[in-house]
Amino acid sequence: MDFEKPLVELDNRIKEVRKVAEENGVDVSAQIKELEERAKQLRKDTYSRLTPVQRLQVARHPNRPTFLDIALNISDKFVELHGDRAGLDDPAMVCGLASIDGISFMFIGHQKGRNTKENIHRNFGMPQPNGYRKALRFMRHADHFGFPIVTFVDTPGAYAGKNAEELGQGEAIAVNLREMFGFNVPIISVVIGEGGSGGALAIGCANRNLIMEHSVYYVASPEACAAILWKSRDKAAVATEALKITSSELVNFGVMDHIIPEPLGGAHSDPMGAFPAIREAIMSVYKHYSDMAVADIKLDRYAKFRRLGQYEEFLVHGGQWKEAREERKNAKGAYTKVGTWAASEDEARMIELVADADEEWEESLKGKEQWIKKPLQPPGLMRSGMMETAAAMMEVRRRTIEAIEERKRAQAAAEEGGQDDNLQPANGGSYSQSSNGATQHVSADSTA
């Protein structure tokens, strides 16, 4: 990395001075100590002023600890598990049982390679759909046996190749998102490198989202964002600034909950110094949830993601939105009939009404398969202007029926009272009769 060149040069000078001193039997320990202190201060100053672009470079450093490096060094024992129970496996997604201080965890994480050969084998940390289904299989396994789940995120994104789309990449990610909110065990997620888009979120719906100091998390890679917005990857630096991808910014926005500190110079410069902090952070979060009831664990996870975002949606009675917002903040919340949580009683009831309406609509579609798929040509009433015409025709029909009913009542009254048949109908209608009493013409005023 360009910004590390002065640090590397200073480190090389220190090594040269030490080597020369040892070869010639000269004691220069004082000078070496001074150079080491200077190097340490320079490294501290450099890393305290990193730009988002530079942090992205650190997060992608090839020597940064991978998931397997972390799993093997923070656990007392780690056993890797394979397969999605559908005949496939994915080296980009690694799962396994781990033990820390006698507690069993399910570890799941993206795995990158160290060199070109390893990266090709691991698909550069970009899982296929079978990788996410494999992760879901072992999350369900952990939920069944009561093992807390710890996920390690380090991917530029889910693989977007033709084969992945044919195998249902979007469906695999969506199912993971849905299922993770229903697990009874606590879920802890740690971003150890880069967390890209849905590929990261598919194993990141957790009770607590932790991020290492120099890791990044984004909805789209800066290069992809620049290509979409400016049609040029040259604007990647601008996109990096705008996306707010650094750990401190993510914590400020509430997307991440806690920053795990890294050794001076980043985890790539001292991997062994990074592992204790990761282990300590995971165990601290686990202890917080270890005595929590299952319902509260699920509610905590659901509420965390409901709180995300700049905008709020809530019901307002009478237009007093400020008062309604405060009332919502102070509300105890409520459960719907199916057990999902809402911020207030009103919202819970509204969710139930919407769900009931959806069920009625789905029920009404049974036996009407021809309407489920969009017709090649829109039906007559769906063409432009036809709905208004149909509404006007229905209004004319309604008024005509009313006029006929009024005519009948008038005839009945005339027969009983001996009155003349020449009565005027209601609603401004008119009519005429033949000699045999049959209605020849009926009309009613209409705005149609």
Q: Output the DSSP codes for 115-174.
A: SHHHHHHHGGG---HHHHHHHHHHHHHHHHHT--EEEEEEES-S--SHHHHHTTHHHHHH
Q: What is the pLDDT of residue 351?
A: 74
**Eight-state DSSP code of residue 374:** P
DSSP-derived secondary structure letter, 230: S
Q: Are 215 and 194 in contact (CB under 8 A)?
A: yes
Indicate whether 278 pLDDT > 70: yes
Least confident of 279-288, 294-303, 410-419: 410-419
Average pLDDT over residues 95-104: 95
Q: What is the maximal distance between C-alpha atoms in the chain?
A: 140
For the cut 50, the answer to whether the pLDDT of residue 258 exceeds it is yes
Give mean pLDDT, residues 30-59: 82
How does pLDDT run across 162-183, given as a tens digit for each residue? 999 999 999 999 999 999 999 9
| pLDDT number for residue 445 | 45
Cα–Cα distance between 7 and 207 in angstroms, integer?
A: 39
Boundaries of every domain in the chain: 2-49, 58-306, 321-364, 386-443
Q: How confident is the model at residue 314 (pLDDT cuts 50, 70, 90)?
A: low
Share of the chain above pLDDT 70, in %: 80
**pTM score of the predicted model:** 0.68
Supply the pLDDT for residue 368.
58
What does the alpha-carbon distance between residue 224 and residue 292 come to, in Å, rounded to a whole number? 41
Domain range 58-306, its CATH number among 3.20.10.10, 3.40.50.11740, 3.40.50.2000, 3.90.226.10: 3.90.226.10
Question: What's the one-letter identity of residue 30?
Answer: A
Kindly tell me if the per-residue pLDDT of 8 is higher than 80.
no
